[in-house]
């Protein structure tokens, strides 16, 4: 998202922004200062932040359940472990829990997460979504410290490393 802030938007006919429900203020201000049409995408269409940005101009095209039935998404298998201390969570200006507070609250229970994974998913391929890159790295480090092969795949991952990670994941 922040790449747009660094670019001249005059020549674009359309700007498409992913995760539009959580765009930073600088990008929000930039999008409102341009005549360029903006198309935002979000898997969180009911967040307060999204309506602060787009008002009532929001289309909900499908649900996760519909996408799962179509075979586009895999069925979720939710496993619950130790509850985090929700009193440590704080909200950002969009009404969403801040990535920093999520990271801090969940880092405290990483050991429990490892044990839960061993009990319920041991030796099964697993994707874990984290609140931000530093959180993903902390989770990965904890898994690796327990002898469980783990890697972080994010926007900063180099193309060659991405290919290696995907090949390793598919080989399991």
CA separation for the pair 32, 30 (Å, rounded):
5
- Summarize pLDDT for 3-51 with one digit per residue, the tens: 666 666 567 788 888 877 777 778 778 777 777 888 888 777 667 667 6
- Summarize pLDDT for 150-161 with one digit per residue, the tens: 999 998 899 999
- Summarize pLDDT for 53-62 with one digit per residue, the tens: 676 677 777 8
Q: What percent of the chain has pLDDT over 90?
A: 19
Tokens 């069925």 correspond to: 75
Residues 6+ apart with CB under 8 A from 31: 4, 15, 17, 23, 38, 53
- Other Cβ atoms closer than 10 A to 38: 19
């Amino acid at each position: 998202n922040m790449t747009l802030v660094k670019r001249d938007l005059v020549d674009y006919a359309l700007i498409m922004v992913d995760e539009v429900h959580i765009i930073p203020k600088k990008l929000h201000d930039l999008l409102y200062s341009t005549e360029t049409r903006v198309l935002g995408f979000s898997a969180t269409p009911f967040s307060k932040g999204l309506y602060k940005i787009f008002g009532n101009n929001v289309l909900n095209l499908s649900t996760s359940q519909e996408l799962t039935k179509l075979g586009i998404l895999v069925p979720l298998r939710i496993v619950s472990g130790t509850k985090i201390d929700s009193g440590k969570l704080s909200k950002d200006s969009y009404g969403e829990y801040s990535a920093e507070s999520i990271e801090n609250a969940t880092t405290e229970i990483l050991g429990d997460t490892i044990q839960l994974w061993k009990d319920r998913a041991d030796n099964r391929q697993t994707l874990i979504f984290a609140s931000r890159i530093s959180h993903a790295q902390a989770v990965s480090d904890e898994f690796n410290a327990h002898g469980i092969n783990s890697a972080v795949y994010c926007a900063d991952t180099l193309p060659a490393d991405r290919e290696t990670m995907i090949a390793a994941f598919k080989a399991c």
